[in-house]
């Protein structure tokens, strides 16, 4: 069986908000690297995903599948803001062990888990992108896991900072050695938590 690969994400944000950040969009769809993004879906933030090679047709611990069957390989992939890929998609869960077990049953078992100083993080590569699970301490344990946000890789973080101005937070060192990251501020008007990062 082929390795699981993230195909696309469904997001609630209207296309014009992403276009304002320098993404090229056609018919509410775009591609960032190998991952498709479908905008304008009902809900808030990231509302669904498609993973090729997963062994489940049901939602995974509250993480719903997208209903779309579109082919992202045909979507816009060249962006004025220099976006070239999705580095990782972040999922928050109040019950790390429960979510990890659900992912394992779906053939998406975590490959690495680390203690980040009071909470755990788990990682699994899904093609070009990484799935990151973060333990949300203090949230009611019975709540499901939820998509929290994503990190986009751009060719030139300084150029993006100039382009977005006050909407982009400070460029600072990332956890990954030798890389930097900057988080989009709420003033940009996205329902999706979004950050930008240097290439590897």
Q: Are strands 35-38 and 5-11 parallel, antiparallel or unpaired?
A: parallel
Task: Give the mean pLDDT of the chain.
Answer: 94
Give the domain range for residue 22: 5-197
Q: Per the confidence metrics, is the pTM higher than 0.85?
A: yes
**199 has pLDDT over 90:** yes
Contact 33, 153 (CB under 8 A): yes
Q: Report the pLDDT value the prediction gives residue 146, as an integer from 0 to 100.
A: 96
- Residue 196: strand, helix, or coil: strand
Separation between Cα atoms, residue 169 and residue 186, nearest integer Å: 10
Sorted by sequence, the CB contacts under 8 Å of residue 111 that are 6+ apart come out as 123, 124, 125
The CATH number assigned to the domain holding 155 equals 3.10.180.10
Q: What is the pLDDT of residues 64-120, one digit of tens each?
A: 999 888 899 889 899 999 999 999 999 999 999 999 999 999 999 999 999 988 899
Q: What is the pLDDT of residue 160?
A: 97
pLDDT value of residue 186: 96
Q: How confident is residue 141, by pLDDT bands cut at 50, 70 and 90?
A: confident
- Mean pLDDT along residues 150-155: 98
- Which pLDDT value is given to residue 33? 96
DSSP state letter for 60: B
Q: For the chain, how many structural domains are there in total?
A: 1
d(CA 39, CA 168): 21
With a pLDDT cut of 90, the percent of the chain lying above it is 86
């Amino acid at each position: 069986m082929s390795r699981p690969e993230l195909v696309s994400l469904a997001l609630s944000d209207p296309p014009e908000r992403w276009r304002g950040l320098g993404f090229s969009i056609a018919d509410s769809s775009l591609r960032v690297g190998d991952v498709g993004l479908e905008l304008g879906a009902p809900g808030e933030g990231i509302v669904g995903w498609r993973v090729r090679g997963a062994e489940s047709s049901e939602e995974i611990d509250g993480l719903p599948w997208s209903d779309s069957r579109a082919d992202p390989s045909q979507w816009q992939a060249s962006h004025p803001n220099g976006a070239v890929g999705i580095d990782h998609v972040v999922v928050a869960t109040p019950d790390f062990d429960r979510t990890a077990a659900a992912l394992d049953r779906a053939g998406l078992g975590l490959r690495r888990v680390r203690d980040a100083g009071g909470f755990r993080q788990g990682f699994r590569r899904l093609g070009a992108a990484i799935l990151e699970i973060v333990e949300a301490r203090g949230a009611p344990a019975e709540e499901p896991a939820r998509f929290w946000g994503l990190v986009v890789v751009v060719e030139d973080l300084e150029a993006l900072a100039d382009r977005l101005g006050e909407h982009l937070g400070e460029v600072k060192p990332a956890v990954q050695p030798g890389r930097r990251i900057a988080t989009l501020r709420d003033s940009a008007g996205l329902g999706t938590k979004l950050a930008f990062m240097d290439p590897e």
